[in-house]
Amino acid sequence: MNAVTTHTRQPAGPGQGLTVADAMAPCDYQIADDSTVDRANDILHSAHVEYLLVRDHNGRCEGLVTRTALHPFLTRSWYTERTAISSTRHQRGPFAWPTMDLSLAATAMRLKHLAVWPVVDDDGFLLGVLTADHAAGLLATTAAAATAA
């Protein structure tokens, strides 16, 4: 039997009780960590997205790969056909969880220079993504509403 860790909701503070779950968005574009750089590049271009979530052989979130991270591999075509995503330099955990205070998550993203942060459950399976822009916008709107009240 697996032990389940629970995260408790933090008291209202700078984020007025908002959590990552309030701001996360679904992520439709994922790739297996044993897929090639060439395959990832094809998906990035055809889907017109800037990143793909990487999952391991068990389906758990392993990280996030961007076009920028793939660029060094794309300069040599034979390299892209043989290099697995798991061999590239890409964003890896720790990841955000849905009950995490949104202001804390926004601060962590700012300190780590993350534009996108995967959100996972207690078992490491992907639930969605948190973008820095959306988190900052939601926090600003909530702060403005609290000030006006």
Domains annotated on the chain, with CATH: 20-148 (3.10.580.10)
| H helix or E strand, kind and range, residue 108 | helix 102-112
Provide the 8-state DSSP code for 114.
Answer: -
What does the pLDDT look like over 5-14, one tens digit per residue?
444 444 444 4
Closest alpha carbon to 130 in 28, 23, 52, 39: 23
Q: Name the residue among 28, 16, 26, 24 with its Cα closest to residue 96.
A: 24
- Residues 122 and 120: their CA atoms lie apart, in Å, by 7
pLDDT single digits (tens) 96-147: 999 999 999 999 999 999 999 999 999 999 999 999 999 998 898 887 777 7
**Per-residue model confidence as pLDDT tens digits over 59-80:** 999 999 988 888 887 776 665 5
pTM of the model: 0.79
